[in-house]
Chains A and B, each alone.
Chain A
Amino acid sequence: DIQVTQSPSTLSASIGDRVTITCRATLSISYWLAWYQQKPGKAPKLLIYKASALESGVPSRFSGSRSGTEFTLTITSLQPDDVATYFCQQYNSYVFGGGTKVEI
């Protein structure tokens, strides 16, 4: 099975900072990866699909990119509402990354 390794597990940043989260797949998965945001006690929310497509209604400060088997979620200017845990999910067997907790 293809696995994804997400890093870092925890990230502390300041309001306005550029934040980057990475997922690395063990094999090529083309563009087939999504990113989710989850706040405590809530369900995950889709942010990005197909590596870089922004889901409708998601602020444009969120973006996704791919370089080979490495995928990146970027928040260009961190806002207080962005405090959450972020997960990647590869389409093959719907495997999720371990999550990155973003703190202010």
Chain B
Amino acid sequence: EVQLVQSGAELKKPGESLKISCKGSGYSFGDHWIAWMRQTPGKGLEWIGLINPSDSDIRYSPALQGQVTISADKSFSSASLEWSSLKASDTATYFCARRKVDQDAFDIWGQGTVVTVSS
């Protein structure tokens, strides 16, 4: 079965660091770009960025560039999203998703990671 499995829910304080992960299985991980999205009740679904696990080429949303770091390890079939200093506004559900080979649509999604940032 083709799937992406994300790490568990996180409760953090403002200013703390965090790294969440997304592990693929059932397909050749390097053959598909992996995207990160976030979802909040107020702003809906937002694209954060996209990484090619084969060569770590990364595209960031201009609105979020500099606020997060995306990485991938093809040998572990894993991608990550990292913050160095969390803010309350980072509270959201984060999804990783697999980009179709020849379309900018996302056919496989992780189950989501809930990140709560609160003092």
Contacts and interface: CB of A to CB of B under 8 A. Distances in A.
B45 A55 contact: no
Interface stretch (B24-32, B69-77, B78-86, B102-110): B102-110
Contacts of B111: 42-43
A94 B95 CA distance: 14
Contact of B35 (A46, A49, A50, A94): A94
A43 B95 contact: yes
Interface residues on B, range: 20 to 34
Contacts of A32: 104
Given A93-B61, A94-B35, A46 B44 contact: no
B112 A43 contact: yes
A89 interface: yes
A93 B47 CA distance: 8
Interface in A2-34: 32, 34
B105 A96 contact: no
Contacts of A91: 103-105
29 contacts: A34-B105, A34-B106, A42-B111, A43-B95, A43-B109, A43-B111, A43-B112, A44-B95, A44-B106, A45-B109, A46-B106, A46-B107, A49-B100, A49-B107, A50-B105, A55-B107, A89-B105, A89-B106, A91-B103, A93-B47, A93-B61, A94-B35, A94-B37, A94-B47, A94-B50, A96-B44, A96-B45, A98-B44, A99-B44
Interface of B: 35, 37, 44-47, 50, 61, 95, 97, 100, 103-107, 109-112
